[in-house]
Amino acid sequence: MEPERECRVLSIQSHVVRGYVGNKAATFPLQVLGFEVDTVNSVQFSNHTGYAHWKGQVLNSDELHELYEGLKLNKVNQYDYVLTGYTRDTSFLAMVVDIVQELKQQNSNLVYVCDPVMGDKWNGKAPWLYVPKDLLPVYRDKVVPVADIITPNQFEAELLTGRKIYTEKDALEVMDMLHAMGPETVVITSSDLQAPLGNDYLIALGSYRKTNADGTKITQRIRMESPKVDAAFVGTGDLFAAMLLAWTHKHPNNLKVACEKTVSAMQHVLQRTIKSAKAQAGEGNKPNSANLELRMVQSKKDIENPEIIVKATVL
């Protein structure tokens, strides 16, 4: 299923020489699924920062503006989608918002997919913010209002709304609060909610709310339970957001199918990665960062046409 006409994505994310995070994790799947991808590398690092060592350069907001001006001067700044992920700098994030707003003035159908990366919680430990805390008001007050699809984890959804999630009902109310801030589609990509299938499963929740021209509202809400994979992967959120962009494009108004394809493809990639990482590390050894790089190229067929192994429950 190719996009009927050329569909172009502007992806503003990190770049690594070795491995798969940011643009490296997003570009290949989008291209495989038929999208043209224009990448702005917000950083260029040797590898992701989970390794013992890393080196590289960071793009500042003026340099981002300069790159965008180059596109504009050549009149090639026409996009169907904008995709953004991890950013550490408030002025850079504010510049992203300016660019998105300008692109939306040119194309009112432009869809902005934003992964509001701020922090996470692991195995019941206290949540950990891995960006400066002054990014939160920028995401909440500037970024989320111009976004169409957002993919926070539970902690990020709580930060954006100022409300804690203890139950599925809380989560649905938090997603409603996020809809009210702007986005039509909200996917809470991971949570510490109890999965009906048991402790070995991770719950993700999705909500789609659209107001039609005649004022009627469509709402669709789903729950997904996927098997937990016991390893610290990096780049999974970037891959998730890219595939969600692709599958919501191919299945508009059907969040259930888009999420089933996204989450199933994720599972295929993660299972292949953990199997390969364990083989590389050798019997009894814990896989390291290099072993755990996502097996992206090896998963091409699964990304293109994922066998559905995770089904969504309509709530």
CB contact burial 15-35 (16+ within 10 A = b; e otherwise): bbeebbbbbbbbbbbbebbbb
Q: What is the Cα–Cα distance from 108 to 103, expressed in whole angstroms? A: 8
Strands in 81-84's sheet, in edge-to-edge order, are: 56-58, 36-45, 8-16, 81-84, 111-114, 149-150, 185-188, 201-211, 217-227, 312-314
238 assigned to active site: yes
Catalytic residue among 80, 115, 148, 238: 238
Q: Strand 185-188 vs strand 201-211: parallel, antiparallel, or unpaired?
A: antiparallel
Residues with a known catalytic role: 238
